Amino acid sequence: MARRSRKNTLEQIIDLVMGLILLIGLYIFTKTRSLELLGLWAGVSLSFFFLILMIHKKWKEERLAKSGIWEIDRMDGREFEKYLAVLFKKNGYKTQITRASNDYGADLVIEKDNVRTVVQAKRYSKKVGIKAVQEIVSAKNFYNAHRCMVITNNYFTDSAINLAKSNNVKLIDRDKLVAMLLTLNSNNSSTSSTKTNQ
């Protein structure tokens, strides 16, 4: 759902800018009746617009590269669970990876400040559906946890989002995972540079 709204926002901005370029071009032509000025305006404005789009794409790719999301996309499910366990451990959580089978719906049990959370990790190539939310809700009771969350390198279906809201399940989709990884990585680099300077 978040992905769709962001894409729609970007498409709306593109439509708005293209509309402005067209309107300004029409204004220039009606005032000057010069095809040369119209062509110059179109060339300069479209070149500038596409340059901005390329810079935005490059920035987004660099952000993803720093986050480690592409490495996650190449992991199998168990590696993703171990990766998340390491991330949480580096950030002060006690972590436990559950058994590969018969885990009762939880892949990780993490604890910090006496708050126990069960986590289901879904390294998927498609959207995560309602089943993941159902499983983590049952795992919360089984592991006597206070909170529960599902983390994916992809996105969630609308039905999974709706069920998560009604059951107080925290969903971390691809965009939130990238942001989380960037935050955790920056926290770890500042901590390690502080230790080096001491």
38 touches 25 (CB < 8 A): yes
By C-alpha distance, which of 64, 112, 61 is closest to 91? 112
| Residues with Cβ within 8 Å of residue 151, at least 6 apart in sequence | 84, 119, 120, 121, 122, 172, 177
Token reading at 70: 């592409």
CATH code of 71-197, in short, is: 3.40.1350.10
Indicate the domain borders of the chain. 2-67, 71-197
The CB density around residue 26, as the number of other CB atoms within 10 Å, is 11
d(CA 163, CA 137): 10
The CB density around residue 92, as the number of other CB atoms within 10 Å, is 10
Question: At 111, which helix (H) or strand (E)?
Answer: strand 108-112
12 touches 164 (CB < 8 A): no
Token reading at 35: 């095809």
Token reading at 136: 């983590």
Per-residue pLDDT of the chain (198 residues; tens, 9 = 90+): 344 444 556 677 878 888 888 898 888 888 888 888 888 888 888 888 888 888 877 777 666 556 688 888 988 888 899 889 888 888 889 999 998 777 788 999 999 999 999 999 999 999 999 999 999 999 999 999 999 999 999 999 999 999 999 999 999 999 999 888 888 766 655 544 444 444
This prediction has a pTM of: 0.67
